Amino acid sequence: MEQQSRLIVLVSGMPGSGKSMFSSIARNMGIPVYVMGDVIREEARRRGLEPTPANLNMIARLLREEYGPAVVAERIAEKLREDPSPVVLIDGVRSLVEVEVFEKLGRVVIVAVHASPRTRFERLRRRGRPGDPQTWEEFRQRDLTELGFGLGSVIALADYMLVNEGPATEFKEKARMLLAGLVADGS
């Protein structure tokens, strides 16, 4: 497949905003999904570390210090090179340096998912994924870490913004409509 004909949908947003729900909808539509955070969780396992918020933040920082700011995107890009799909979705892009990695592999569209801090905190507490913060302080620290990677810049430059404050059914419908439009335009 010619690389520029591939559509790469980059999903960005603060932790708990609804990126995983957006990605799940894409997956149900047959779009392959790659999750940036899985690279960090895999690295924590490889190093024999529990996936606590502190350990995951440390691994994210160490990987970038050891291999450069685009390391997580580069590891996903290696997998993308083996995937012939005309449309793929990358969940959890955190910096413009990461965006640049994917721009070399196809036509990029950035979708930002937004929810208020209080909403996101409650979602993360209920979600129970390893590494999710359980206290407001852990939550705030994780937000600051994410913003330190450049997440705010990616969100600010997004091509589309989906607000996820209401019922899940409403967000899912908006996500389906956006993805269907992108797939129709991109293929």
What's the start-to-end Cα distance of the chain, in Å?
A: 12
Q: Residue 18 annotated as binding?
A: yes
Q: Residue 172 annotated as binding?
A: no
Q: Residue 16 annotated as binding?
A: yes
149, 95 contact by CB (below 8 A):
yes
Tokens of 49: 């570390």
Q: Residue 20 annotated as binding?
A: yes
Q: Residue 15 annotated as binding?
A: yes
Determine the Cα–Cα distance for residues 5 and 174; give it in Å rounded to an integer: 25
Alpha helix ranges (H) inside the chain: 19-28, 36-46, 53-67, 71-80, 96-103, 117-127, 136-148, 151-156, 168-186
In the annotated binding site, the residues are 13-20
In the annotated binding site for ATP, the residues are 13-20
